[in-house]
Structure 1
Amino acid sequence: MRTLILLCALALTACKEDIAEAPDPMPLTAENLAHYCMMNISEHPGPKAQIFLSGLPDPIFFAQVRDAFTYIASAEQDGYITAIYVNDMAIAPWATPGAENWITASDAHYVIGSGKMGGMGAPELVPFSTKASAASFKADYGGQIYRMDDVPQDAFLAPVDITFSGEENG
């Protein structure tokens, strides 16, 4: 995984004369659909992600940060990634992760293994803009703190047994 992320990072910085500046993140709206399930992501709790591909004006949105990491690592990825953004959960409640509190994925501190489930009911990679915010979340919910380059593949590629109990995870 580390190699894959490093390749993505290198691709983002290579050939600067051929690459336009990374686009700014787009606000989350009620019309945004999750890439994999085509469900309205604003109706689901937990952090979201958006990925811009070269030549496309709008990003691909993901209902969970975990899903964006899966997309980056998958053969399905069909385009040159120009930017990856995730919600900064240091300034947003779990139920409504925010429309404009985006940070670059490579700058985030991720809490993994906290037991908090993302919007689609799978374990989540919870992003924070500061290590202190991540540490505070970790103290409350458990888990470990990682930077993007160090996120283990099993944190987003491992199978998940999802059972819906009707209870909110908040």
Structure 2
Amino acid sequence: MDAQIELRVDGQPRALTVDTRTTLLDALRDRLGVTSPKKGCDHGQCGACTVLLDGRRAVTCLALAVAYDGAEITTADGLADGAELHPMQQSFVEHDGFQCGYCTPGQVCSAVGMLEEVHANHPSHVTKDLIGSIKLDDEEIRERMSGNLCRCGAYVNIVAAVREVAR
């Protein structure tokens, strides 16, 4: 069964017809040609497909496209302002927070979403003090970014990139 949906992807309205079983990741990549989110595990375990969905980070390989009709989707490509990189993107470049780069778009989107969660005082599993603002130390960053895997092992540089933007 097909359904017509509209998504706002990186600020642009995009209408398409999808099979109701189509994942948001497949709709973005295969139907709309948006290749920033990557298909890594296709099981919601690696985070390579992470985007900001209505401002919150989400893995798109587990989301059905029809469930997000009318949603605002921001990919790593949509974070930049023209030729000017988003501060998180720039920090990843400066701290060499990638090697092969496959996971990088998901890492960047996750980091941006994670900082919004911290700003809203959403605790994580390792948050020590739930009263007051959250101290974003390396342990807290690692815990909050744990849903995004880097098969190359660039974690030290990823944490440094996130830490710099968090300051």
Q: Which has the higher strand share?
A: 1
TM over 0.5: no
Normalising to structure 1: TM-score of the pair? 0.25
Q: Which has the higher helix share?
A: 2
Larger Rg: 1 or 2? 2
